[in-house]
Amino acid sequence: MLKLTIFLVITMLMLAQVSAKTLTVAVASNFKSTAQKISHQFEQQTGHKITLVSGSTGSLFHLISHGAPYDIFLSADAVRPQKLVSAGLAFPESRFTYAVGQLAFWSPNHANIDNNNIVERLKEFNGKLAIANPRLAPYGESSLSFLKKNNLLDVVNPRLVRGNNITQALQFVTSGNAQSGFVSYSELLNAGVKSNFFLLNPNSYSPINQQAVILKRTQNIEIAKEFMDFVNGNACDIILLSGYALAPSLDSEQH
């Protein structure tokens, strides 16, 4: 009887190992901490494993375009997932907006800055101003659009410091290498920052529609679809609590 029990336990463990799959998900750096929470919950519910590879959206796109073995791409924009679809590297029907990024301005040593006075205050500042590299990071592109819309680029350009991604832009301000910066609201929450920042008016910068797509080189298409359904459903509360907005269709479904 004991031998039979041991045999059954071993068999069940072997079957579980065979059925469990691993997905490699390329995720934009701003969404990494949120993706970790989502992946943990998905792993607990399904038994599958998620391996996250994070970086700037532009860098990840370059790697994917040159054959990187990822299953899913969680981008920080809509442009690059569409380019992957157009290039035949991603499934068109899998593309959707999983989150809308919120851009914040943070100046640790300056209070009372808001949407009403930021333009004038930026003209007065003498310190370094951090943004993500607009060529690589959608948050940097949106930061640049804010500066251009408000005729500030020429004023602040000599003081700009550019991070490879939005996480590095935040690190510049945290370390004091920059005195203020355009950062993601989600990363401020994750870092526990509670003061001297505000959310920029969404109409003042180009929208940050973060899209996901399944890559055609995946060997685990059904599990990839399952993960995408999870991100598009059960994970919405995690996304909202992490400092993102949802695409209008998803937001209406949550209410």
Is the confidence at residue 252, as pLDDT, over 60? no
Record the pTM: 0.85
Go through the domains of the chain in sequence order and give each one's CATH number: 2-100+209-254 (3.40.190.10), 103-204 (3.40.190.10)
pLDDT of 21 reads: 87
Is the confidence at residue 25, as pLDDT, over 90? yes
Please give the structure tokens belonging to residue 252: 């209406």
Q: Measure Cα distances from 141 to 55, 79, 103 in Å.
A: 16, 12, 11
Please work out, in degrees rounded to the nearest 5, the angle formed at the alpha carbon of residue 72 by the alpha carbons of 48 and 138: 135
Please give the structure tokens belonging to residue 13: 């463990």
Instruction: Classify 244 as helix, strand or coil.
Output: coil
Is the confidence at residue 13, as pLDDT, over 50? no
Q: Measure Cα distances from 35 to 31, 52, 94, 146, 201 in Å.
A: 6, 8, 18, 27, 25
Stronger pLDDT, 140 or 8, i.e. the higher one: 140
Burial 67-83 (b: 16+ CB within 10 A, else e): ebebbbbbbbbbebbbb
Is the confidence at residue 11, as pLDDT, over 60? no
Pairing type for strands 22-28 and 72-74 reads parallel
Read off the amino acid at residue 55: G
pLDDT of 199 reads: 97
Side by side, the strands of the sheet bearing 96-100 are 49-55, 22-28, 72-74, 209-214, 96-100
Q: Note the Cα 154 to chain centre separation in Å.
A: 29
CA distance 175 to 183: 14
pLDDT digits (tens, 9 = 90+) for 94-118: 999 999 999 999 999 998 999 999 9
Count CB-CB contacts under 10 A for residue 98. Answer: 24
CA distance 190 to 116: 26
Please, which pLDDT band fits residue 206 given cuts at 50, 70 and 90? very high
pLDDT of 248 reads: 79
Pairing type for strands 180-184 and 129-132 reads parallel
Lowest mean pLDDT among 6-10, 20-24, 37-41, 210-214: 6-10
Please give the structure tokens belonging to residue 210: 């973060």
CA distance 248 to 254: 10
Specify whether the CB–CB gap between 80 and 27 falls below 8 A.
no
Backbone dihedral angles phi then psi of residue 241, each to the nearest 5 degrees? -70, -15
pLDDT digits (tens, 9 = 90+) for 155-171: 999 999 999 999 999 99
Please, which pLDDT band fits residue 10 given cuts at 50, 70 and 90? very low
